[in-house]
């Protein structure tokens, strides 16, 4: 019985000793790549790349059609 009481006391004392993990920093990375978007014919609207009709942004925000051709000249 003593061992149980001692173990419970040690657990209770150590419960508040857990390290506090800081919250992650806010991600202020924009949701678009302006140079890629505008260089391939798109425009940045409300924080996202908006491509011309028939073109969709790829993961790098280039506006490409179904064949992989850019909406405008990519510089």
- Average confidence (pLDDT) over 45-58: 92
Residue 14 has phi, psi (to 5 degrees) of -85, -10
User: What's the pLDDT score for residue 23?
Assistant: 85
Evaluated on CA atoms 58, 63, 66, 70, the torsion sign reads negative
- Average confidence (pLDDT) over 30-37: 87
pTM: 0.57
Q: How confident is the model at residue 74 (pLDDT cuts 50, 70, 90)?
A: confident
Summary mean pLDDT of the chain: 83
User: What's the pLDDT score for residue 75?
Assistant: 63
Domain contains 24: no
Number of domains, the chain: 1
Q: How confident is the model at residue 35 (pLDDT cuts 50, 70, 90)?
A: very high
Domain range for residue 61? 31-70
The span from the CA of 44 to the CA of 40, in Å, is 12
Helix H or strand E segment including 13: helix 2-14
Domain contains 64: yes
């Amino acid at each position: 019985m003593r061992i149980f009481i001692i173990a419970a006391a040690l657990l209770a004392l150590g419960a508040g000793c857990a390290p506090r993990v800081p919250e992650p920093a806010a991600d202020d990375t924009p949701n678009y790549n302006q140079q890629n978007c505008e260089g391939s014919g798109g425009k940045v609207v409300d924080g996202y790349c908006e491509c011309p009709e028939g073109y969709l942004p790829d993961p790098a925000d280039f506006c490409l059609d179904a064949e992989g051709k850019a909406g405008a000249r990519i510089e």
